[in-house]
Chain A
């Protein structure tokens, strides 16, 4: 069973701080990695994807990938209360075009 692990949280950070969300995965053959955001009662929405080792930045979001350590993270700079949501890590399977999702980390940004 290919697993994607996330700390369920809640992770609480003050407004303006950096939020760091982490994810580990078990499938060494995985090549694609995604972060989704899900507000309470809403559907998931894609924030970022990353394929290569290193960092990828998009606005206030930075995804970091370390395939050797089987670790992917999401940094949110200048966190805002509107960033309060559950963040889902998803890992593409090496066997085909499907995704394994983690159970998500709940982030609370306090004013």
Chain B
């Protein structure tokens, strides 16, 4: 089954404790992206990657890191999480940067206390 998977689905952590949210897709897609969704602010893009070893900032990259060492994986790293990073995070992938077929993962609900 074609899908985007994220782990963990739910995470409660404390300020400053480094964490990684994994994202993997099995569709051989070139493009992958991370978004966060907050009430009243909508869906905002954090980072995206056009291909392996190619990443670029979205609207809200501060406090996040990404890497794209393999085509199928695109982990999101929070080196020192803060409470304002409490959010619902979605990973997504698309065949290419035209985004005519962008598929979203199930989401990761992160709470930073």
Contact = CB atoms under 8 A, between A and B. Distances in A.
* Number of chain A interface residues as a range: 20 to 34
Given A32-B99, A97-B48, A97-B50, A44 B104 contact: yes
B99 A88 contact: no
Contacts of B101: 46
Interface in A49-106: 49, 88, 90, 92, 96-104
A3 B44 CA distance: 11
Contacts of A43: 90, 104-107
B74 interface: no
Contacts of B50: 97
Contact of B90 (A44, A102, A103): A44
A34 interface: yes
Chain B CB within 10 A, most for which of A49, A88, A97: A97
Contacts of A42: 106
Given A97-B31, A97-B48, A98-B58, A46 B102 contact: yes
B56 interface: yes
Interface stretch (B35-43, B64-72, B77-85): B35-43
B43 to A, nearest CB: 4
Contact of A49 (B40, B99, B106): B99
Interface of A: 32, 34, 42-46, 49, 88, 90, 92, 96-104
Interface of B: 31, 33, 35, 40-45, 48, 50, 56, 58-59, 90, 97-107
